Structure 1
């Protein structure tokens, strides 16, 4: 396994696939790079694809609560780029990972070729807070097994869940065995709910793609649309089906959308 060392000495697991202009893929709440499995093969045909586990999660964890900020997580991406000797890369982030990409665009724009935010938000409203409060309460009262069992209800369309029950059941033991400490998950939830960049979003000059699914039941499309409207020049793409994890439900749709955007950015530069 390959690790980079972050600014504060934390170990960050990462792996690379393919060759070309680099792309860093940053996961959402779970933090594990395995979330991007449906993207890696196709993206790696044109790009150097870098996937990593957020500090405190998956293979970047040591079972101790972590003290991380959004700025610190942006610094973790920069540390991975430094380890690989890369000046800049495209950053693609799902939900929370997208927020981290935006923070990097606001604080270290020279490290970025572009940012793609998948089902993200610029400010948590009452609905989003309620969703995360429910998830946190499931974890507190019933533990990781119940949390993981409930997770598909927030991520996938109902029909997709029904049609993929065997797959979801088979994945559960692996997800539970790699589940972060409850203190880490709670700290991550609090950190991301507190994210509110306000007018700082207007300072972003990096090319930005914002994507959303109309049937996302966790981060409603209206929040993602509001985020796109707040970023000068941002490109907004919306799909009708796939819910919060449409990158996994309809990977060919997302992969094509992303590659077209990246090709436009790289061609312009």
Structure 2
């Protein structure tokens, strides 16, 4: 991946990848205008990737708020595209290709003289019958370490409650290091990136009904390029045998090598490791 020189001052990575949850047009416009105005004032390139919103409505809303959207677009600092024309342009949604795409986009933006890149993406497409959409949670969990830490990129993911199931919003919004907008109720199983080291935090209960969430977390852990990766289970109440097998299998298949360090393992995991010691070969369980 290309290396991009970051500006001297920017918000820490944990604050630059945010979920934004809203339930009406007024909230949507408020977050949109705040994001775009801040980016233009900072000399950053600003992109809006629409899914259900007409691109013309985005520009009109900005103009109504006193933002010179037309001028920014004319000088190449503001653009509005669609998910169908960007990361959904291929036959399927591919997290690896999307991550590579962000590196290329930031490099291109920097080459044109912008101090950074900031992007709003509407996420309603993830709940539709799109090939690869089941990998969206895996993608969100990988972005912090693979994209936002190394790059001068700010990204807000828009979740419209009117278009999405509540559990979908809870899980996907919770996968971001930062959150803005409407509060979200905790999902039965919440997974989020650790912000101080490569790895994930899992909270809640990892049982049969949360199998898709566990699978996404395992895929994100497997593909993390760092050699040492940690899974913090300090807020996990329960983990069943199938979930443990999924996580252990991902740890064993990590191309970067190195055991998956499991911190604050719940009693249920320790009991399972006693019953199935073969799962422990790729896991390093530590007490603190």
Task: Please report the TM-score for the alignment, with normalisation by the length of structure 2.
Answer: 0.26
> Would you tell me which structure has more strand in proportion to its own residues?
2
Larger radius of gyration: 2
> Would you tell me which structure has more helix in proportion to its own residues?
1
